[in-house]
Amino acid sequence: MSWNLNGKTAIITGGTKGIGLAISKEFLNLGANLIVIARDEAILDACLHQWHTEGYPVTGIAADIGNKKHHQKILQAVGEKTTSVDILVNNVGDNVPKSFIAYADTEYLNIFNVNLFGAIDMLRLFFPLLSKSSAASVINMASVAGITNVGTGAMYAMCKSAVIQLTKCLAVEWAPYHIRVNAVAPWFTGTDRINRLLQNEALKEYVINHTPLGRIASTEEIANTVAFLAMSRASYITGETIVVDGGFLANQGDVF
């Protein structure tokens, strides 16, 4: 088994920003044939232009996974490129931290739609193509917020907790189809959104002081973990949530 993704067809949702962008770059460097789904067409086009200039085999689909009207477009575009999918990374996510009572109905429904229902829809949409692979891998993006309270809002935390449980259930249900299902749960990571939050010096100090490694994760460090789970090197790992948190949870006592 080689340390690469050569010949593997991979789909990444939200693969043009933050952690998703880092995953896209890592997969391309490892030799994957990549299909990126992203909502912002202009940003997607810019990424595709750069990747094509560098000679990478990558296709882009401008679509919103949270909009069911786009699902047929997504499936058709993928179907034009491949008859099977080896890797699916459910990366799309977003959050607006508020107190539980402060959310308007539309706000918390959108958080659920982006972070949970969108992933569910992609899993259901691509199951037939994943099942045609001899050894498929699904990686769902969870969060430390789905394991313990980190003050990012109950709605987001509930979604990520549900993603972790969904990962366990599908790992068992889809094992007969030779589909492994795992999740990655990052702590604070240096995306544009998180870096804006960390302009709050009190929050930044809290995060650093409670993270044994004493720093914020890079997006590449999360991408490395996702890539490992996608590889045949991880062929006996399924149903797991790999926490990438610099030791934060180990520093909190028995949160499990």
| pLDDT digits 0-9 by tens, 63-85 | 999 999 999 999 999 999 999 99
CA 151 – CA 100 distance, rounded (Å): 11
156, 177, 206, 236: which is the annotated catalytic residue?
A: 156
> Domain holding 138: CATH number?
3.40.50.720
177 pLDDT above the threshold of 80: yes
pTM of the model: 0.95
- Mean pLDDT, residues 118-138 taken together: 97
Q: What is the pLDDT of residues 15-61, one digit of tens each?
A: 999 999 999 999 999 999 999 999 999 999 999 999 999 999 999 99
Q: What is the mean pLDDT of the chain?
A: 95
Question: What is the pLDDT averaged over residues 150-166?
Answer: 96
1 part of a folded domain = no
Is 4 domain-assigned?
Answer: no
pLDDT tens per residue across span 189-240:
989 888 898 899 999 999 999 999 999 999 999 999 999 999 999 999 999 9
pLDDT at 1: 58
Q: Domain for residue 72, yes or no? A: yes
Domain assignment present for residue 198? The answer is: yes
- The parent domain of residue 35 ranges over 9-251
Q: Is residue 139 part of a domain?
A: yes
Cβ–Cβ < 8 Å for 28, 58: yes
Question: For residue 195, what are its two tokens?
Answer: 């870096």
Residue 7 has pLDDT above 70, yes or no: yes
Whether the per-residue pLDDT at 253 is higher than 70: the answer is no
Q: Is residue 160 over pLDDT 50?
A: yes
Is 206 known to be catalytic? no
Residue 2 falls inside a structural domain: no
pLDDT in tens, 84-105: 999 999 999 999 989 999 999 9
Asked if residue 56 is part of any domain, the answer here is yes
**pLDDT value of residue 147:** 96
Tell me what pLDDT residue 256 has. 38
Q: Indicate whether 256 belongs to any domain.
A: no
Q: What is the number of domains present in the chain?
A: 1
Can you give the pLDDT at residue 113?
Answer: 95
Exposed (0-12), middle (13-18) or buried (19+): which is 168, by Cβ within 10 Å? Answer: middle
